[in-house]
């Protein structure tokens, strides 16, 4: 999702843990194995059965950073334009800007394969908590406990992948209270079928982002192939026949990226005081750099507009998260709830294992605050080629180790995907790479100083401009064949390579490893182990009466189409195509650099569209970034909409949920059909979506 912003009152999840009955009826990003069936039934008189849930689960796919769903028997996949935007840009070129101008393949022969795009369908889930915790020896240190669990999880993933042939991933829930293995089917032949113009998909631009009313038709359509033919999924969503009205119950199945509602107060404070402020400064610098690059020509702009879009979106989201963490009243409630939970732990001898957990996590977070600046600049280099080189340098070293001792990205479960991505031929812009790498080195030099080991290793007394230019122009790593040769040649090929990016990566590797080791031993191990102890204590009080934080694993949220109070009135639950034209006319085509300008096709076909068609709607739905592209279904399981945003008030949902004003924003399925048929002349595609 384009993440979601401030202005809130509400109890934190930690407070709710002490009083199960106060959990808001529509709150929660629930795992498919543990739904609040009684609460659903009590409020809405409906609880989905297992057949309904399995059909929805098998219809949903995971995109990189987002969600989509199968919507036809021949493998059509629906998602947001902004989720598919990177892929749409990837298949564009200087003569065909499909992001700006849109794309439609009237025949399957014209559908464009997106190199390297992989989608995943969740086929199975297995709880392995007992086996994982059983691998930890009594009296083990935090570091040893972490390694024992990681090793056991690695063994389980390996076993299950070999047995099933599926892609298996570990999923940690409830801060380590539960460990699961999720098994996915991979789809690696994905082709672009349709994308509207960027201007209509992101109508209103940044000024309207995270707001409502909205007037965006934020969707794109792909098709999955298998063995050269359209894939027949085990399940797909039927398009709605009737649509929604205010008060109707909706469900959203997707992959919410990350919430932090179960963090300790110390973790939230470190994020508020150190991490978010530094991230916002980094975003601002990078956006300014790329906007300057884009101003040079239309082609320069085409190369970076998607990056700018993503950075501005994240910048606005994190500003909202930070505003939430600075709300004194809300943070006081979180702190009070934590004290009450700690008092429960301290008074119960059976929970003594968690007695010191909060104190130890606070000490670890103090180390985060002390080291974050260094890790931020060492790890943020703004160079695609150097990141690639570092992976190539580390790959043979890590592959020679037992799986449990490898860096996470090189474990058996992830290594095949990494190797495949290394072989993908992606667009490469040398001038852009030099510009970004130069600025990344300048930024690090300004903040770390000339004597820092990273600066000395990277620059060697030269200027950032000189180092970046020489390394980028002298490197051949933009060529897939070169990357493949280095991977297949192993350690010998890496040792003999004279590629300047490989040489820089060899200097960077020991510095990065040192920082990661410090992080693992003094922060990650402590937070994982002690957070797990808090989670077990919480389980002792509540069991699974609440939901885990989001982890980019499949979740189900639910809630009704509902207005909310704002600016002294109530916000309407639906917008219409008439509202789209009214907003365009009211602002005119030049306001805010054309934020509300209509694309030519929408002007041309104004007389053809039904102005009363519902366009976007809000519903009381608990979502966050990663839910973008998630299908919205009704009680019948029919697709009625498509999540694409949240209102400004929903951003603090990263830390707590406020039912009064937290709303998800979705494209209405009826608007998608109207646009395809009346504006884009894509009646055949509209028919396939409708099952005809």
In whole angstroms, give the CA distance from residue 453 to residue 258. Answer: 33
Tokens of 172: 């940690």
Below-50 pLDDT ranges, the chain: 1-23
3-state helix, strand and coil shares in percent for the chain, rounded to the nearest 5: 50, 15, 30
What's the alpha-carbon Rg for the chain, to the nearest Å? 25
Q: 167 and 91, same structural domain?
A: no
Cα 65 to chain centroid distance, Å, stands at 4
Which residues lie below 8 Å from residue 646, measured CB to CB, with a gap of 6+?
A: 1, 3, 4, 210, 623, 624, 653, 662, 663, 664, 665
Tell me, yes or no, whether 586 lies in a domain: yes
Q: 495 and 408, same structural domain?
A: yes
- How many C-beta atoms lie closer than 10 Å to residue 188's C-beta? 16
**Residue 6: its pLDDT value, please?**
29
- CA distances to 326, 327, 473, 569 from 7, rounded to whole Å, are 11, 8, 48, 16
Bond preceding residue 410 cis, omega within 30 of 0 = no
Tell me, yes or no, whether 549 lies in a domain: no
Tokens of 689: 């979506």
Block residue for tokens 């350690």: 491
**Residue 25: its pLDDT value, please?**
55
Which residues lie below 8 Å from residue 267, measured CB to CB, with a gap of 6+?
A: 260, 361, 365, 527
The CA-based diameter of the chain, rounded to the nearest angstrom, is 74
Tell me, yes or no, whether 4 lies in a domain: no
| Interval 50-60: pLDDT, tens | 999 999 999 99
Tokens of 473: 């122009």
Question: Which of the listed residues 135, 166, 187 is the one where a domain comes to its end?
Answer: 187
**Residue 674 contacts residue 613 (beta carbons within 8 Å):** yes
In whole angstroms, give the CA distance from residue 379 to residue 84. Answer: 27
In whole angstroms, give the CA distance from residue 25 to residue 665. Answer: 19
**Angle in degrees, CA 615, 200, 62, rounded to 5:** 80
**Residue 581 contacts residue 611 (beta carbons within 8 Å):** yes
Q: 528 and 676, same structural domain?
A: no
**Residue 472: its pLDDT value, please?**
97
Tell me, yes or no, whether 28 lies in a domain: yes
- β-partners of residue 191 are 113, 223
Tell me, yes or no, whether 7 lies in a domain: no
Question: Which of the listed residues 187, 222, 245 is the one where a domain comes to its end?
Answer: 187
Tell me, yes or no, whether 546 lies in a domain: no
**Angle in degrees, CA 63, 68, 73, rounded to 5:** 120
Task: State the DSSP H helix or E strand holding residue 326, giving kind and residue range, or none if neither.
Answer: none
C-beta pairs of 96-103 under 8 Å, 24+ apart in sequence: 97/302, 98/192, 98/195, 99/195, 99/198, 99/302, 99/305, 99/306, 100/197, 100/198, 100/199, 100/302, 100/305, 101/197, 102/195, 102/196, 102/197, 102/198, 102/599, 102/680, 103/192, 103/194, 103/195
- CA distances to 212, 294, 424, 559 from 246, rounded to whole Å, are 16, 43, 46, 11
Q: 427 and 347, same structural domain?
A: yes
Which residues lie below 8 Å from residue 400, measured CB to CB, with a gap of 6+?
A: 491
Tell me, yes or no, whether 1 lies in a domain: no
In whole angstroms, give the CA distance from residue 386 to residue 376. Answer: 16
- CA distances to 376, 377, 389, 453, 471 from 507, rounded to whole Å, are 18, 15, 11, 10, 13
In whole angstroms, give the CA distance from residue 150 to residue 193. Answer: 41
In whole angstroms, give the CA distance from residue 309 to residue 432. Answer: 16
In whole angstroms, give the CA distance from residue 313 to residue 2. Answer: 6
- β-partners of residue 79 are 220
Q: How many Cα atoms sit within 13 Å of 678 on the Cβ side?
A: 18
The dihedral sign for the CA sequence 159, 31, 37, 666:
negative
Q: 255 and 156, same structural domain?
A: no
Tell me, yes or no, whether 6 lies in a domain: no
Q: 162 and 57, same structural domain?
A: no
Give the DSSP letter string of 622-645: ---TT-TT-EEE-TT--EEEEEEE
Q: 634 and 585, same structural domain?
A: yes
Q: 382 and 239, same structural domain?
A: no
Q: Tell me how far apart the terminal alpha carbons of the chain are, to the nearest angstrom.
A: 30
- β-partners of residue 68 are 61
Question: Which of the listed residues 129, 155, 187 is the one where a domain comes to its end?
Answer: 187
Q: 585 and 517, same structural domain?
A: no
Q: 566 and 434, same structural domain?
A: no
In which domain, by residue range, is 228 found? 13-118+188-259+555-647+657-689
**Residue 207 contacts residue 591 (beta carbons within 8 Å):** no
Q: 483 and 515, same structural domain?
A: yes
Q: What is the CATH number of the domain that holds 75?
A: 2.40.10.120
Q: 134 and 112, same structural domain?
A: no
Query: What is the count of structural domains for the chain?
Result: 3
- β-partners of residue 124 are 183
Say which DSSP state 574 is in. E
């Amino acid at each position: 999702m384009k993440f979601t912003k401030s202005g809130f009152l509400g109890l934190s999840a930690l407070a709710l843990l002490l009083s199960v009955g106060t959990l808001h009826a529509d709150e929660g990003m629930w795992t498919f194995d543990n739904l609040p069936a009684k609460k659903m039934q009590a409020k809405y008189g409906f609880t989905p059965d297992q057949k309904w849930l399995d059909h929805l689960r098998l219809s949903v796919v995971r995109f990189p950073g987002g969600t989509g769903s199968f919507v036809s028997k021949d493998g059509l996949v629906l998602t947001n334009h902004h989720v598919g935007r990177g892929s749409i840009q990837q298949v564009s070129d200087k003569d065909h800007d499909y992001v700006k101008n849109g794309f439609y393949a009237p025949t399957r022969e014209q559908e464009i394969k997106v190199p390297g795009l992989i989608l995943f369908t969740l086929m199975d889930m297995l709880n392995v908590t007992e086996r994982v915790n059983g691998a930890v020896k009594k009296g083990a240190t935090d570091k040893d406990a972490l390694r024992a669990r990681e090793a056991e999880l690695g063994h389980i993933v390996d076993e299950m992948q070999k047995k099933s042939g599926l892609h298996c991933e570990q999923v940690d829930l409830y801060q380590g209270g539960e460990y699961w293995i999720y098994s996915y089917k991979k789809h690696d032949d994905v082709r672009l079928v349709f994308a509207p113009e960027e201007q209509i998909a992101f109508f209103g631009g940044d000024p309207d982002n995270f707001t409502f009313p909205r007037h965006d038709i934020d969707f794109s359509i792909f098709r999955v192939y298998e063995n050269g033919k359209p894939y027949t999924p085990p399940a797909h969503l039927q398009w709605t026949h009737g649509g929604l009205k205010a008060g109707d119950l909706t469900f959203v199945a997707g992959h919410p990226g990350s919430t932090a509602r179960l963090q300790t107060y110390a973790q939230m404070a470190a994020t508020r005081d150190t991490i978010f402020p530094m991230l916002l400064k980094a975003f601002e610098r990078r956006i300014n750099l790329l906007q300057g690059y884009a101003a040079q020509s239309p082609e320069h702009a085409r190369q970076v507009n998607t990056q700018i879009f993503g950075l501005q979106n994240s910048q606005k989201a994190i500003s909202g998260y930070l505003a939430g963490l600075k709300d004194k009243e809300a943070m006081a409630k979180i702190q009070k709830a934590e004290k009450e939970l700690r008092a429960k732990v301290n008074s119960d001898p059976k929970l003594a294992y968690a007695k010191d957990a909060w104190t130890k996590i606070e000490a670890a977070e103090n180390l985060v605050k002390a080291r974050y600046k260094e890790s931020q600049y060492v790890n943020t280099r703004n160079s695609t080629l150097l990141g690639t080189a570092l992976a190539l340098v580390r790959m043979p070293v890590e592959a020679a180790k037992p799986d449990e001792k490898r860096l996470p990205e090189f474990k058996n479960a992830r290594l095949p995907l990494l190797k495949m991505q290394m072989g993908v031929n992606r667009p490469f812009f040398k001038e852009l790479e030099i510009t970004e790498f130069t600025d990344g080195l300048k930024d690090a030099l300004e903040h770390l100083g000339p004597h820092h080991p990273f600066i000395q290793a990277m620059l060697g007394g030269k200027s950032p401009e000189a180092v970046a230019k020489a390394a980028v122009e002298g490197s051949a790593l933009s060529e897939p064949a070169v990357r493949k040769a280095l991977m297949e040649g192993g350690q010998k090929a890496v040792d003999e390579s004279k590629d300047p990016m490989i040489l820089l990566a060899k200097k960077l590797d020991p510095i990065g490893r040192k920082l990661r080791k410090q992080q693992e031993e003094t922060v990650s191990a402590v937070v994982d182990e002690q957070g797990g102890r808090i989670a077990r204590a919480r389980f002792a009080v509540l069991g699974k009466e609440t939901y885990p934080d989001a982890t980019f694993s499949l979740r189900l949220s639910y809630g009704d189409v509902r207005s909310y109070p704002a600016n002294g009135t109530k916000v309407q639950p639906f917008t219409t195509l008439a509202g789209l034209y009214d907003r365009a006319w009211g602002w005119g085509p030049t306001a805010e650099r054309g934020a509300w300008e209509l694309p030519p096709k929408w002007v041309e076909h104004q007389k053809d569209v039904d102005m009363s068609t519902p366009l976007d709607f809000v519903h009381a739905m608990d979502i966050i970034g990663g839910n973008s592209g998630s299908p919205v279904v009704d009680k019948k399981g029919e697709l009625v909409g498509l999540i694409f945003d949240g209102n400004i008030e929903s951003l603090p949902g990263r830390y707590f949920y406020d039912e009064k004003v937290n709303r998800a924003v979705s494209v209405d399925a009826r608007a998608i059909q109207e646009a395809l048929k009346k504006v884009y002349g894509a009646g055949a595609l509209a028919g396939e979506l409708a099952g005809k």
